[in-house]
Amino acid sequence: LQWRCAARRAYSSENTPPGNPPVVSVLGKNFNTTKDWFNVPVNVLKATSRQLHLQNDHPVAITRQIIQANFPAPTYQCYNDFHPVVSTQQNFDSLGFPPNHPGRAKSDTYYINGSNLLRTHTSAHQADVFRQNSSDGFLIAADVYRRDAIDRSHYPVFHQMEGARTWDRTVMPGGDVAAAVRLDTEKLGTHDVVVEDPNPPYHPERNPIQEGHTEAEVTAIGQHLKRSLELMVIDIFKRAKMAAAQVDPDFVDEPLRMRWVEAEFPFTSPSWELEVYYEGNWLEVLGCGVVKQDILNNAGASTRVGWAFGIGIERIAMLLFKVTDIRLFWSQDERFLTQFEGVSANLDKLRLFKPFSKYPAARRDVSFWLPSSSSSPSAAGGNTGRSFHENDAMEVVRRVAGDAVEDVSVFDDFTHPKTGRRSIAYRIVYRLHERTLTAEEIKDMHDKVMAALVEDLGVEIR
């Protein structure tokens, strides 16, 4: 905790100019600031205009689309353009956060003034959507803001997707939704991934069954929730695997591992978090639970019961595109953005991210005597000392070493004064976009290039 706080301080002092502007404009709306509350650094304020989740062909938007595809209409309706400035009522009070909850602190949250802040989660819109939504479910994607340390998986601005599904008691026989929910779970289908789930169905101290809910209902709703989210993660991994196999046909992925852990939120009970095993660590991807009945009651939906989840879009996008640093999503570099062109329109065209910061290059030289027109066995092929063209050799190199070749250039070309034989020397630069080539791979590739030059062009390596 100590170093996180230190990182927070360093981060905020660097970016927060002293004092506060009297008014800030966020996506065309003006807000009066107050000196004792305003704590939004310039770079965070600027980020409000980016809306990566709505930017066509951006990995955050593509990931949103893939999650959406797993929660289809008409059951789920999408709300993707809520304004990022919300009230403390929306972000905290409507969700039952107690007045002293640490999430409300200025050290954790970006405030504009005492009653307006940059939403810290998409749950800020739950109550409003429960009130206005006419279907059984909804999804909300949005940018969210938290004062937090910056590392490879944390950034002060990120994106979340909220999801919720409810069932109306009044249309169920006996007013019990359990049987209907179980039927809907069956309709979702099954999967054969082993999911570690050490939780008791409910945990009385932290996650009691709510008043008015039956144990059968909570069990059924929890199962529908977990199955829906497991199927979504499985779909994500299936797509990531297909994209990886396109790059490398021999690609073998580690088997997918998921686990449910008990969690605690002021707005759900019982609550869980889903973790995915990724590159040696358990990575938390979402929080979820059975919606607190007060939220539904206050939203004029007292006859409904159901579940909600909140997922970190970047966390999923990192798994999906194999992006290892969350900061990359904010890159304006064309080399990043152009990589995903066309994917929003066709999600099956998903491509893995190709790092563009360069891996080290390996330079290798090769020099050879061209065959003399009379003696070369391959002279019949037309490649004599005289007719030889530099591009012939380039083509051979490209054919053998493919994309691992970055550059081929001639650095010496001379004709022996007595024998009249011509010698040419090439420098080949080997480099992969994806990773560093090993010494053995380079040697092997260069040996093959030399053998092919001899074979195809009839040259004699010097």
Applying CB under 5 A, which residues contact Mg ion? Answer: 287
Torsion angle defined by CA atoms of residues 382, 384, 387 and 390, in that order, rounded to the nearest 10 degrees: 100
Q: CA 457, CA 437: separation in Å to the nearest integer?
A: 27
Amino acid at 49: S
Count CB-CB contacts under 10 A for residue 257: 14
In this chain, which residue has its C-beta nearest to ligand FA5?
A: 312
278 or 392: CB nearest ligand FA5: 278
Q: CA 427, CA 246: separation in Å to the nearest integer?
A: 31
Residue from 145, 314, 383, 442 touching ligand FA5 (CB under 6 A): that is 314
The CA-atom distances, in angstroms, between 430 and each of 250, 312, 399, 442 are: 22, 38, 13, 7
Q: Is 385 in the site for ligand FA5 (CB under 6 A)?
A: no
Q: Half-sphere exposure (CA, 13 Å, Cβ side) for 245?
A: 8
Q: Give the shortest CB-144-to-Mg ion separation in angstroms.
A: 12
Q: CA 52, CA 57: separation in Å to the nearest integer?
A: 10
Q: Is 147 in the site for ligand FA5 (CB under 6 A)?
A: no
Q: CA 110, CA 116: separation in Å to the nearest integer?
A: 9
90 or 376: CB nearest ligand FA5: 90
List the single partner that 209 binds among Mg ion, ligand FA5, none, CB under 5 to 8 Å by kind.
none
Q: How many residues does the chain have?
A: 462
Strand 281-291 and strand 137-145: pairing? Answer: unpaired
72 or 102: CB nearest ligand FA5: 102
The CA-atom distances, in angstroms, between 265 and each of 59, 95, 268, 276 are: 29, 9, 6, 20
112 or 288: CB nearest ligand FA5: 288
Q: Give the shortest CB-57-to-ligand FA5 separation in angstroms.
A: 21
20 or 91: CB nearest ligand FA5: 91
The CA-atom distances, in angstroms, between 331 and each of 47, 151, 328, 334 are: 12, 15, 5, 8
Instruction: Please report where in the chains the tokens 């019982």 appear, as a residue.
Output: 270
Q: Is 118 in the site for ligand FA5 (CB under 6 A)?
A: no
59 or 312: CB nearest ligand FA5: 312
List the single partner that 315 binds among Mg ion, ligand FA5, none, CB under 5 to 8 Å by kind.
ligand FA5
Stretch that binds ligand FA5, among 217-225, 302-310, 353-361, 409-417 (CB under 6 A): 302-310
Amino acid at 150: I
222 or 287: CB nearest Mg ion: 287
45 or 285: CB nearest Mg ion: 285
86 or 404: CB nearest ligand FA5: 86
Q: Is 158 in the site for ligand FA5 (CB under 6 A)?
A: yes
168 or 264: CB nearest Mg ion: 264
Strand partners, 412: 425
List the single partner that 314 binds among ligand FA5, Mg ion, none, CB under 5 to 8 Å by kind.
ligand FA5
Q: CA 351, CA 336: separation in Å to the nearest integer?
A: 12
Residue from 82, 145, 155, 353 touching ligand FA5 (CB under 6 A): that is 155
Q: How many helices (H) and strands (E) does the chain have?
A: 12, 17
Size of the site for ligand FA5 (CB under 6 A): 23
Residue from 64, 165, 315, 422 touching ligand FA5 (CB under 6 A): that is 315
Q: Give the shortest CB-242-to-ligand FA5 separation in angstroms.
A: 23
The CA-atom distances, in angstroms, between 333 and each of 328, 352, 458 are: 9, 17, 45
List the single partner that 154 binds among Mg ion, ligand FA5, none, CB under 5 to 8 Å by kind.
ligand FA5
Q: CA 277, CA 284: separation in Å to the nearest integer?
A: 9
Strand partners, 264: none
Q: Is 137 in the site for ligand FA5 (CB under 6 A)?
A: no
154 or 322: CB nearest ligand FA5: 154
Q: Is 296 in the site for ligand FA5 (CB under 6 A)?
A: no
Strand partners, 49: none
Count CB-CB contacts under 10 A for residue 266: 16
Q: Is 82 in the site for ligand FA5 (CB under 6 A)?
A: no
Q: Is 123 in the site for ligand FA5 (CB under 6 A)?
A: yes
Q: Is 148 in the site for ligand FA5 (CB under 6 A)?
A: yes
Amino acid at 128: D
Q: Give the shortest CB-352-to-ligand FA5 separation in angstroms.
A: 20
Binding positions for ligand FA5, 249-268, rule CB under 6 A: 265, 268
Q: Is 93 in the site for ligand FA5 (CB under 6 A)?
A: no
By CB under 6 A, name the binding residues for ligand FA5: 121, 123, 146, 148, 154-155, 158, 160, 162, 265, 268, 284-289, 308-310, 312, 314-315
